[in-house]
Amino acid sequence: MATEPEAPGPARRTPPAQATRNETPANPLRTAAGPASGGRTVPPPSGRGLPTRTGDSSPEWLEPAMAANGIGSFDWDIRRDVLVGDQRACAILGLVGQPFDRTSASFLALLHPEDAPVVRRRVERAVAELGQCGAYYRTVFPNGELHAVRFRGRVLADAFGRPSRMVGFVWDATVELHKRERADEQAQLREQRSRFIKEAARALSEAVTVRDVARVFTELPLPGLGPDGLALASLEAGRIALLGSNGYHNGLSNQFDRIPLAPTHPAAEAVRQRAPIFVSSREEYRERYPEAWDWAEESGRSSWAFLPLIASGRPTGICVVSFDDDRELDTDERTLLSTLGGLVAQSLARARLHDAEHELAAGLQRVMLPRTVPAVPGVSTAVRYLAAGSGLQIGGDWYDVVPLPGGHVGLVIGDVQGHDVHAAGIMGQLRIALRAYAAEGHPPAAVMARASRFLADLDTDHFATCTYAEVNVDYGVVYAVRAGHLDPVVRRADGTAHPVPVSGGLPLGVDPDEEYRVTRFSLDPGETVVLCTDGLVEARGMDLDTGFARLCENVSGDLPGIDESPREPLEELADRIASGASDSSEREDDIALLLLRWDGPAGGRAAQQLRRRIGQADLARIAELRGELRDALRRWGVPELIDTAELLSSELVTNAIRHTDRDAMFTARLYQEHGRARLRVEVEDESDLWPTRRTPGEQASSGRGLMLVEALADTWGVEPRGTGKRMWFELSS
């Protein structure tokens, strides 16, 4: 409590010329108060209170002035350690009628334990420097009361320049100290409120949506006020629309929501005057707003502050701050609430504009993307769209599933550059154009070329990446075209997944004369092709290869069975892939995802199948396979295909066994369509070495396999399959 700074003391002084060894040093206060002790001999300690000084020759005006201001004086003989003072000093220190041995140690014992060391150090320093000192300190009266005291003292030297006495004044500073403490508290509160306004401004500036603004406002602490209820409402068509509240039960909040803003309501008056309305008691509320008293009475509150929200000169809402007790807010408190209302108004206006833009963007996005995915016999599809976590959350990513002539289906996945309304508009036009080209029956390469030319003709700076795949539902054959987009990923029947390399071309719109190449690959029943945009595999701090590896990891693995989940497994897979994307708050790009699973030929046209594994060292198994194929074709009713199918199958299996060090998988399927039979034979191996067509000499005993396949098969081909390849041919009866 001893907080007053020390007064600077003079350096050790030369004793006056007239002083002698036995004289009392000259009193520096002599002109104002006379000698501090009046030349009185201090009596020996009596064991009672601080003795008083008598015989002062002070000016007549000094004593009344000191008495009027409650100031006492003291005189401390430093050498003898005897402390004396007047009656007022005794009263101030609580020593009237109390035992006291007049020593400095006993005086320090009267002080608060925290203040005594500070006072002692300051006195010791003043004595050492023959200077002045002063301090605030607390003293405990015999009845336990705590009083604040202030003193000022000065050390006097004897004729030899040695410290002899300290004389000074003492007065009760309790009221003064309380005022200082109150001033300190007010300064601290103002600092807290200044920090609060800064923190509230920051929090409100970070609030993006109207819901965010309501949450921030209703959670504000309001230092020094401690409100019991907070409510934020917007004004819509003359009604109050509650946005958020704190401290009100749901029933009361619901009553406040959507009520008409009657002219007699305090909120209406605040909006009309565009100035806060403060109501300090229930009686004042009932007197000023009798027609709006029912809601206030049910709220149980006793005082209110209604803060109009004005943004760009227009009222947009109202803040209500309420208290359980009567509260007459002072100027600082009203200024705090008014400032807060201005911050909330600006934040709410910005959030409403943001919400309106996003509602427009979301509506545009819903219109641009297909509302439903058509059902196509023989395949199952699942789609997902995830908006970016920033901006308007609208972009140029899209997907589409297009039923095609002949029972085929077209898959489209694409991404127009940009994440704004313009990109979404370009995406909508491009989606419609590409869908129309595909529905007209154009082959995949022509569909992509026409779409690129269409985008170039729009005269826009935007370009688009895209993958278009046509799926032959009868045979599970996919014809894919890629324009600067990601390769598709295929999930095999055994749960493994890998990307399928597809020949690429320039993004759409870059070169209107670009020609695109088609890549063909096959699906077995139950296998799934996955198409996605780059937002799924690209994220901050992750390169494309890592993202693609993570995608394949999410695509692969077991899926829950019917007994584990009632949902379609393909939907479960789509959710798993989408959940692998980065969190929406960190996602910088939107994501489109399209999955198609081939369930087998529609209408059961592939009723017969022969599937065998041939060991790498089991060449004798090839002869057995020819016999099994011969028997199967007879059972299936197509004996006319036996000779050619047996010959070509033997060539493909032999080629796979001889040129790889792994087993080969043989599959033969018979499709019945339009009264005709079509046989498809596939041989898979794990070698990435593709066969080459050679021209053998007359004496060569090998090298004619591919020549035979090319000459006898209706159609044939080689396509990648995982880490290996698949060779196939087809025959018709």
pLDDT tens-digit map of 80-108? 999 998 889 888 888 887 788 888 888 88
- Report CA-CA distances (Å) from 463 to 335, 455, 509, 510, 698: 54, 7, 5, 7, 55
- pLDDT higher than 80, residue 584: no
pLDDT at residue 197, rounded to an integer: 87
Q: Are residues 391 and 354 in the same domain?
A: no
CA atoms within 13 A on the CB side of 73: 23
Q: Is residue 183 part of a domain?
A: no
- Asked whether residue 665 carries a pLDDT value surpassing 90, the answer given is no
Nearest to 147 by CA among 120, 176, 105, 106: 176
Give every CB contact of residue 241 below 8 A, 6+ residues apart in sequence: 233, 234, 235, 257, 258
pLDDT at 8: 42
User: From CA 570, how far away is CA 520, in angstroms rounded?
Assistant: 23
Q: Say if residue 166 is in the same domain as residue 306.
A: no
Average pLDDT over residues 236-243: 81
Tokens of 482: 């890629």
User: Can you give the pLDDT at residue 257?
Assistant: 64
Across the range 16-39, mean pLDDT stands at 35
Whether residue 714 sits in one domain with residue 574: no
Query: Is 186 within a domain?
Result: no
- The whole-number pLDDT of residue 456 equals 92
Predicted confidence at residue 705, as pLDDT, reads 72
pLDDT in tens, 599-647: 877 654 555 788 888 877 677 788 888 988 998 899 899 999 999 999 9
**Mean pLDDT across the chain, nearest whole number?**
81
Mean pLDDT of 269-294: 91
pLDDT at 370 over 60: yes
Q: Which of 304-308, 678-682, 697-701, 719-723 has the lowest mean pLDDT?
A: 697-701
Residue 344, pLDDT score: 92
Would residue 119 count as lying in a domain?
A: yes
Q: Alpha carbon of 654 to those of 642, 698, 699, 700: distances in Å?
A: 18, 21, 20, 17
**426 and 326 share a domain?**
no
Distance in angstroms (rounded) separating the CA atoms of residues 440 and 451 = 13
211 and 306 together in one domain: yes
CATH code of the domain covering residue 53:
3.30.450.20
Within this chain, do residues 402 and 341 fall inside the same structural domain, yes or no? no
**Residue 400 has what pLDDT?**
94
Is 592 in the same domain as 540?
Answer: yes
Helix or strand run (H / E) with residue 367: helix 331-368
Is the same domain home to 418 and 509? yes
The two tokens of residue 340 are: 């807060």
pLDDT at 586 over 60: no
Domain limit, last residue, from 359, 393, 428? 359
655 with 574, same domain? no
3-state DSSP: the chain helix, strand, coil percent, rounded to 5?
35, 25, 40
Q: Band of the pLDDT at 47, cuts 50, 70, 90?
A: very low
**623 plus 708 within the same structural domain:** yes
pLDDT at 644: 94
Which residues fall within 8 angstroms of residue 405, CB to CB, at 6 or more apart? 441
pLDDT at 545: 85
Residues 425-443: tens digit of each pLDDT: 888 899 999 999 998 888 8
Q: What is the CATH number of the domain that holds 539?
A: 3.60.40.10
Are 432 and 411 in a shared domain? yes
pLDDT band at 235 (very low <50, low <70, confident <90, very high): confident
- Residue 653 belongs to what H/E stretch? helix 642-658
Q: By the 8 A CB rule, do 389 and 443 touch?
A: no
CA end-to-end distance (rounded Å), the chain: 110
192 close to 226: Cβ distance less than 8 angstroms: no
pLDDT band at residue 30 using 50, 70 and 90 as cut-offs? very low
- Per the structure, how many domains does the chain have? 4
Cβ contact 238:265 at 8 Å: no
> Is the entire prediction scored with pTM above 0.85?
no
**Rounded to the nearest 10 degrees, what angle do helices 620-635 and 642-658 cross at?**
150
Domain that holds residue 220: 193-359
Percent of the chain with pLDDT over 70: 84
Q: Give the CA distances from residue 143 to residues 24, 136, 140, 362, in Å, rounded to whole numbers and listed in that order.
A: 39, 21, 8, 75
